[in-house]
Amino acid sequence: MNSRRLVFLDVDGTIVDHRQRLAPSVAHAVRRARANGHFVHLCTGRSRGEIPDSVAAIGFDGAVTAGGGFVEFGDDLIAAFTMPPDAVAELVTFFRVHDIEYNLQGYDDLYPSEGLFERVRPLFEGDIAQERDAESARDMKKLEARMAYRGDAPGEGIAKATFFGTDSGTFALVRDGLGDRFHVLTGTIPYLGEAGGEVTLPGVHKGAAIERLAGHLGVSMTDTIGIGDSHNDLEMLQMCGVGIAMGNADSTVKSYADEVTTAVDDDGVWNALDRHGLL
């Protein structure tokens, strides 16, 4: 068996496709890699409460959630990179002034804006919903319930904001308005394109979270593998010993990777782990 590796898997576009269907071979790949002594972690822009049941049921050694905001190993929260209350207030004020719907992510809960659900309704209805299997449909119903407005978010414990605009200029508006004080990125929710994105504090991203967890476990970064498909995976792909882009990733994401595997619906995770001898 090879030396123990730390593997980090994105969720959307890597473990599940963008209709929330679980790639059939992923569970087998993860369980076999763990049985062979490797650590396998989720590494997602989702908060803990947004992880689909079908994904959590696979079984992982830990998770990086909220795009690097929270770092877990086993049942322990290793690190939390949350925003100070004044930064949360600044984000909320900015979004409200510019009529931008948003979602604030805490460790285990979400805090949607009042009009968020109407903005993301295409995720739950229409053509995109017709191609889901029963398991992914149940996962989406759970997420739908979490998108309901439940009042203002707390000022503390927030690691990330996801924003949802109504036109193609929304990302540029947020980037230009907040980019000197926050880390603003786009391309993480495909159907939104340039109308949406994510906001964290500078230096908070998946790569930094992976480095923290590797240090906690006493594992060299050269023994880490990161697999993803989106722009919030760029730092992960750069900082891991081996960064692997999914075949369905765009050209920018692929340019940050050491190698490219097959697509999410073509056994991309299985093929990547098999290539590196983990299976």
Out of 15-24, 43-52, 86-95, give the one with best mean pLDDT: 86-95
Q: Residue 139 has what pLDDT?
A: 54
Q: Model confidence over 168-227: pLDDT tens digits?
A: 788 899 999 998 999 999 866 655 556 789 999 999 999 999 999 999 999 999 999 999
Instruction: For domain 85-200, give the fold.
Output: 3.30.1240
For the chain, count helices (H), then strands (E): 11, 13
CA 255 distance to own-chain centroid = 19
Q: Please give the single-letter amino acid code of residue 222.
A: T
* Residue 145 burial (C-beta neighbours within 10 Å; 0-12, 13-18, 19+): exposed
Q: Model confidence over 117-160: pLDDT tens digits?
A: 776 666 555 555 555 566 655 655 666 666 677 788 888 999 99
CA angle (64 as vertex; 60, 67 as ends), nearest 5: 140
Q: Residue 216 has what pLDDT?
A: 96
Average pLDDT score over residue span 35-52: 94
Q: Model confidence over 80-110: pLDDT tens digits?
A: 999 999 999 999 999 999 999 899 999 988 8
Phi, psi dihedrals of residue 79, rounded to the nearest 5°:
-155, 150
Q: Please give the single-letter amino acid code of residue 48.
A: R
As a whole number of angstroms, the distance between CA 187 and CA 254 comes to: 13
Q: Residue 35 has what pLDDT?
A: 97
Q: Residue 164 has what pLDDT?
A: 85
Quote the tokens at residue 175: 């980037």
- CATH 3.30.1240.10 domain residues, the chain: 85-200
Q: Please give the single-letter amino acid code of residue 265.
A: D
Closest CA to 117 of 103, 104, 97: 103
Question: Can you tell me which residue has the tokens 């782990």?
Answer: 273
CA angle (146 as vertex; 235, 205 as ends), nearest 5: 10
Question: Can you tell me which residue has the tokens 């190993």?
Answer: 73
As a whole number of angstroms, the distance between CA 130 and CA 116 comes to: 22
Q: Residue 87 has what pLDDT?
A: 97
In this model, does residue 25 exceed pLDDT 80? Answer: yes
Question: Can you tell me which residue has the tokens 């079908």?
Answer: 54
Q: What is the mean pLDDT of the chain?
A: 89
As a whole number of angstroms, the distance between CA 188 and CA 201 comes to: 17
pLDDT band at 1 (very low <50, low <70, confident <90, very high): very low
Pair 8, 240: CB distance under 8 Å: yes
Question: Can you tell me which residue has the tokens 């049921």?
Answer: 57
Q: Residue 116 has what pLDDT?
A: 79
- CATH 3.40.50.1000 domain residues, the chain: 6-80+204-275
As a whole number of angstroms, the distance between CA 270 and CA 278 comes to: 10
- CATH class belonging to 6-80+204-275: alpha beta
H-assigned helices in the chain:
26-35, 53-56, 85-97, 116-119, 127-130, 134-146, 170-178, 206-217, 234-239, 251-256, 268-275
